[in-house]
Amino acid sequence: MFSASPPPRRDFISVTLSLGEAAGAGGYNNSKAWRRRSCWRKWKQLSRLQRSVILFLFAFLAVCGVISYTNVGEQWKSLTNKSAEDQKTEPEIPGLKPANPAVLPEPQKADANYPELSLQKRSKPLHVRRGPPNLQIRPPRRDARIKAQDVAGKTEEEPGQADKEEKTEKSIISWRGAVIEPDQITESPSSKIKEPEKPSSVEVEDQKEPVPVNERQMAVIEAFHHAWKGYKEFAWGHDELKPLSKSYSEWFGLGLTLIDALDTMWILGLKEEFEEAKKWVATDLQLDKNVDVNLFESTIRILGGLLSTYHLSGDSLFLEKAKDIGSRLMPAFNTPSKIPYSDVNIGRGTAHPPRWTSDSTVAEVTSIQLEFRELSRLTGDEKFQKAVDVVMKHVHSLSGKNDGLVPMFINTNSGQFTHLGVYTLGARADSYYEYLLKQWIQGGKKENELLEDYMRAMEGVKKHLLRTSQPKKLTFVGELAHGHFSAKMDHLVCFLPGTLALGAHNGLTADHMELAKALIETCYQMYVQVETGLSPEIVHFNLHAQKDRKDVEIKPADRHNLLRPETVESLFYLYRFTGDKKYQDWGWEILQNFNKYTRVPSGGYTSINNVQNPSNPEPRDKMESFFLGETLKYMFLLFSDDVDLINLDKYVFNTEAHPLPIWAPA
């Protein structure tokens, strides 16, 4: 007898296969009811465990499907915003401290009659709000507080824009330890002109609590009020105040002090004074007049002041006036060499060199670029930038330099350097070096020739012009004349510590910051070692130790003080980048000495003839416009702990302390 074999074990796989075979054996019926009954019978034949496993698998697959759909949706949504986010990313400088990538978006306008050159994608219309990005405007009260402003650079792609723009490979410059990767920005006005856009306005994205005005800043505001009181009462609408005689002097007859001080009033929060000055610009500033003006001085003071005030206030009045004066200065470039003449008649449209020479100074023809480049960017008219770019390219290619150092004069007919063999960072050459760096920063760090010329020049300074004084071993910058070194240093050279610090902040070699610290100590000693605590115009340093002699020697013809800003300017940069409060203390000492020896009781401050005579400094009866336009402005910024009060990663100062925006990236 054989025992019956047990039925085969039916697992999940065998049941599934058997069901499939039965279906394929012809038991399939096209009737929907039959199919439902057949499926139900087969489902009932499964064990409870098998049914549970199947239900669990279906549930698991359903959950996975929901999760996958959510993730894919998130990724798809992020892809739509990717290009906008990528635009905010700037390349880092390998191995060096990078600059803060923040930049100012496309400038604000309120008048469609002055369209701007497109340097980035078209902005959406935004709400108008008075005040620059990140700039806290404060009224002249210690407890004054207002909301700080940030600008959202919201852009949208124009149709076909991506197809038109070519991607260029970033070039890297290596110069004695500095490896610089240029920022990715749109084409400059001279190389890519689009249809001008309608003006956009300022929109506030974030609001943050401002840093309150402190006591030292209040002292600066009080000093400005005192200077402005004299100007308003005795020199209103004229170029310069003569505070002792309670009168005025004219240079161009264009309200030079008033225009130079516009953005200072805005930054200090002096709204009433600003509005009064603005009214004069609107109704009384007449540019159509038969008068000769100096191209350089009118560019840095008038054009620069109007452009800066336009950016800070957003008022198109100032852009309108800037375009007018810029156009009237253009005849200066009508020379055989395209090196501009020094003087222009803004009413007749003619230009000429000085009566005694056909030369222009190198500093003058190479320190107008920031302003004319920005004017092209705002108006969409490339002629302004083209004119000044030709000058820079020409100077870049000239022979006669000494390791990057340039002579002081250039001929407007031949286009060649003259008076060869004399090299200085003082008068007639100083701002050439300043504007090499600042144009590179303004344009987004991509104009390689400018950076190369700047770096080579700084190496030339270290090689030929740096020396150490006795007994304090102060590092100073002298002059070179036909191979002979002179220990002479202009106060004007005290711009250099700030410029070096700005370059180091923007990723250049770190030893520039160390040199900046050494040089600002020297500039401070040019004040400290003088009886009034005010620096003379020129000093000579002792190179050899001698008993009872200071580092600084002053010749009788050089002991005047013109209320110059250069040392305070560099103190501002050094404090902003290092946070060392000694720089604020040094600036406070200088302000107190200005108040002690140059303040005129009836209103205003005056230049003095003798910084070595505290009992009689011999006042000159002249208040330079740059005292309000530069010196007091840099004082106010120096005493502020608010890095967003003219953020140096968003603005670059022209050589008259007028902040202009760094061009935004693509």
Chain centroid to CA 571: how far?
Answer: 17
d(CA 166, CA 176): 31
| Six token digits for residue 273 | 């004074």
Q: Which residue's entry shows tokens 């063999």?
A: 421
Query: Which residues touch 354 (CB under 8 Å, ≥6 apart)?
Result: 342, 343
Our answer to whether residue 85 is catalytic in this structure is no
d(CA 166, CA 169): 10
Torsion over CA: 15, 19, 21, 22 (sign): positive
What letter would DSSP give residue 630?
I
CA separation (Å) from 70 to 23, 75, 77, 599?
A: 38, 9, 11, 71
Q: Which of 150, 430, 630, 642 is catalytic?
A: 430
Q: Dump the DSSP string for 576-629.
A: HHH--THHHHHHHHHHHHHHHHTB-TTS-B--BS-TT-TT---B-S-B-HHIII
Q: Dump the DSSP string for 185-229.
A: BPPPTTT---PPBPPB---B----PPPPP-HHHHHHHHHHHHHHH
Our answer to whether residue 537 is catalytic in this structure is yes
Our answer to whether residue 324 is catalytic in this structure is no
Chain centroid to CA 270: how far?
Answer: 23
d(CA 189, CA 187): 7
d(CA 246, CA 590): 25
Q: Which of 537, 551, 624, 644 is catalytic?
A: 537
- CA trace torsion 216, 222, 224, 229 (10° rounding): -170
| Six token digits for residue 140 | 């002249």
Our answer to whether residue 156 is catalytic in this structure is no
d(CA 454, CA 460): 10
Q: In what order do the strands lie in the sheet with 292-294?
A: 292-294, 343-345, 350-352
Query: Which residues touch 405 (CB under 8 Å, ≥6 apart)?
Result: 423, 457, 460, 461, 464, 465, 480
Helix, strand, coil: what percent of the chain each, to 5? 45, 10, 45
Residue 359 dihedral angles phi and psi, to the nearest 5°: -90, 150
Q: Which of 187, 233, 292, 297 is catalytic?
A: 297
> Which positions are catalytic?
297, 430, 537, 566
